[in-house]
Amino acid sequence: MKRTVIIGAVAVLVVVGGAAYIATKDADKSSSSKNTSQTASNQSANDQNNFAPASTEGLPFIATISIGGDGATTVAKLEHDGKDKTRYTATQNGQQMQFIYTTDAYYSCTDDKCIKFPMSSSTSSGFNPSDYQYGADKLSGYRSGAAYKGKQSCSSGTCDVWSVSVDGATSTLYVDSGTKRITQVDSTQGAKTSKIVYEYKDVTIDVPANAQTLPTAP
């Protein structure tokens, strides 16, 4: 496979994954006193609706990611098996590109041909699969800046809706009223918008058996 194809595939991941990342960025970096004050007021009036989504750690899921901006919309899919494998699939100009992440490597696949990279090099893509999961620590970081917006219909039925502002990005989190899991995240940052819809179900991800490995430079 030509190296230009590899570079192109990684570039797509930077554009698509990076734009969706605004919706899942860790909240423990900033929480203004204004938001904290507003949240305290909202939560005081809605004690029964305190921000307490269930952790999604260890849960398999499929996330459909829609990114809008500049008059175009890109749709991608992220699948996680609840253990140690994640698959990210995106289509650009009619060509499907797939990225599979494991604990020690990630794979870039185009036209049924896959290249294996060491996991250490995945940091250059600006994409981290764990950013799409909601563990206890991340949820705790969101709590101080969360403002309750009431109940609304959502993909899973009825959700409690919360607004969270983090590092200049505003996100709306939809928490299923029954399972307490986050089922949708809508975000805006400048002219960019993203919508992530979660479906919690079993996922099987097979690691490419015949992936090529690039030769290391001397």
> Tokens for 136?
């206890």
Do the domain assignments include residue 218? no
Backbone angles phi, psi at 61, to 5 degrees: -160, 165
Per-residue pLDDT of 96-129, as tens digits, reads 899 999 988 989 998 889 999 987 765 555 678 8
- Bridge-based pairing state of the strands 113-118 and 212-213: parallel
Do the domain assignments include residue 206? yes
Do the domain assignments include residue 141? yes
> Tokens for 152?
């609304």
**33 vs 162: CA distance, rounded Å:** 18
CATH number of the domain bearing residue 47? 2.50.20.20
> Tokens for 142?
């969101």
Name the region of 58 (left: φ>0; alpha: ψ -120 to 50; beta: rest).
left
Do the domain assignments include residue 41? yes
Per-residue pLDDT of 86-96, as tens digits, reads 999 998 777 88
Q: What is the DSSP string of 129-160?
A: GGGG---HHHHHHHHTTEEEEEEEEETTEEEE
Single pTM value for the model? 0.75
Please name the helix (run of DSSP H) or strand (run of DSSP E) that holds residue 146, with its range, or none.
strand 146-154
- Strands (E) across the chain are located at 61-69, 72-80, 86-92, 95-101, 105-110, 113-118, 146-154, 157-166, 169-176, 182-189, 192-199, 212-213
Total domains present in the chain: 1
Per-residue pLDDT of 39-74, as tens digits, reads 444 444 444 458 999 999 999 999 999 988 777 778
Domain hosting 175: range is 3-213
